[in-house]
Structure 1
């Protein structure tokens, strides 16, 4: 399966953050922000932003003398023992935090073996998850998640997916023409969130942003009830900005 990889802002943030972590790891006694700036080549403002994120995620800690050392979260993820459980817990913490800051249910999805799979999600009483009234595997044409994942595939892989899954009309807004959908996917900029405006379910709007780690295709998504549709664009942009910690966890 060929992929259409075009780096997004979270991808660049992740690459920079990995550079910082590698540099910190080389200094067993810790590295100051001045040393980190010099060795990574990152501008001080950029480095400060990344260090705030890395501290919040537990990947680095600041010693009493102000130097940065590797954090507990990095040690757990870097360990071969129980890494899958540590990764699942770390991702769930990040999704929970995104849910609370966005005021929306948040989902992590991947495209695995030709199918849409939602691995983890975070919802709550005030941020209910979408009612999966049609299996997400068979409704990629109508969901922000599905469209985001399909956007990251090449043309042949998209056609293959649509040939295996009939494009059923789920609401009056659902696109059921493969020609129209393929055209929409082709013209979707990778840095702009994909939207679902009541295409999957009446009363629900969604947005998704790509998170591509290595050769795997994934996305982060959120859903809001229709009465909060006015917040969708702002929430989607915030989701995009908040995607870097998820990508980083997957990349470590």
Structure 2
């Protein structure tokens, strides 16, 4: 991996966490400094910050261990796989009812990252399998995932007023996209009319954890199925998103 844009402080924090995860409550500041080759003054500031963020804990003997926040991150990492399994379990009957493919995705910066797909046995398919990325502003999934962001957050993710078009129907103005998100908030779901891929429409709804949007699902279909399937798809996708949402995470 290219290290041109690496952040030294994060590299040092990673080294500290790696050592503490192997041997908790063994290392004092001076020991860590010698072991990792980091000056005491630099390491002191780093550990103070990591302790404030609860990345590390310090006991009465001034030794360190991995903190609660790192544990939370680890739990979140494994929970995403639980969500994928639950998506497959609950989404299969929805796919069979709609006879259309169902996708699960999360937001990664200004892009939608597809996590899983339940593929309908139809001859015409949109390319949307795990690992595929699309610009968020060009998809129903992106609209769902960004629907509760304030304007400042949106402007940080989309710094340019002019947005790139994937098709002739893609929203190409940040202000128009912000207005579209207002409609998504009111409706509770998002629509995509050939904005990401020509010939395909989709309906999407957000998945929540403790009230926060953490992922989204969508049903995509060819244009020739849209008018006859749209209303049923909206109802089924919103119901599936509610079923995948939880207050436990």
| TM-score normalised by length of structure 2 | 0.58
Tell me the SS of whatever aligns to 1:121.
strand
Where does residue 184 of structure 1 map in the other structure?
A: 180
Structure 1 stretches of at least 4 aligned residues deviating more than 6 Å after TM superposition: none
Quick one: distance in 2 between partners of 1:93 and 1:139?
28
Q: Please provide the CA RMSD for this pair.
A: 3.0
Where does residue 239 of structure 1 map in the other structure?
A: 237
User: Deviation at 1:227?
Assistant: 0.8
CA shift in 2, pair 1:141/1:90, >3 Å: closer
Where does residue 149 of structure 1 map in the other structure?
A: 145
Aligned pairs, number? 169
Where does residue 73 of structure 2 map in the other structure?
A: none
Where does residue 31 of structure 1 map in the other structure?
A: none
Matched, 1:90 2:86: yes
| TM-score normalised by length of structure 1 | 0.58
Contact 1:206 1:224 in 2 (8 A): yes
Tell me the SS of whatever aligns to 1:97.
helix
Larger radius of gyration: 2
User: Deviation at 1:228?
Assistant: 0.2
Q: Can you list the C-alpha shifts for 1:52-71, whole angstroms capped at 9, x where unaligned?
A: xxxxxxxxxxxxxxxxxxxx
Quick one: distance in 2 between partners of 1:168 and 1:115?
12
Matched, 1:218 2:198: no
Q: How does 1:126-145 map to 2 (within 5 A)?
A: 126=122, 129-132=125-128, 137-145=133-141
Contact 2:205 2:237 in 1 (8 A): yes
| Matching residue within 171, 174, 187 for 1:175 | 171
In structure 2, the gaps of 5 or more residues are 1-77
Q: Which has the higher contact order (CA 8 A, sep 6+)?
A: 1
Quick one: distance in 1 between partners of 2:134 and 2:159?
11
User: Deviation at 1:142?
Assistant: 1.1
In structure 1, the gaps of 5 or more residues are 1-81
Contact 2:160 2:174 in 1 (8 A): no
User: Deviation at 1:95?
Assistant: 1.9
User: Deviation at 1:104?
Assistant: 1.4
Contact 1:102 1:235 in 2 (8 A): yes
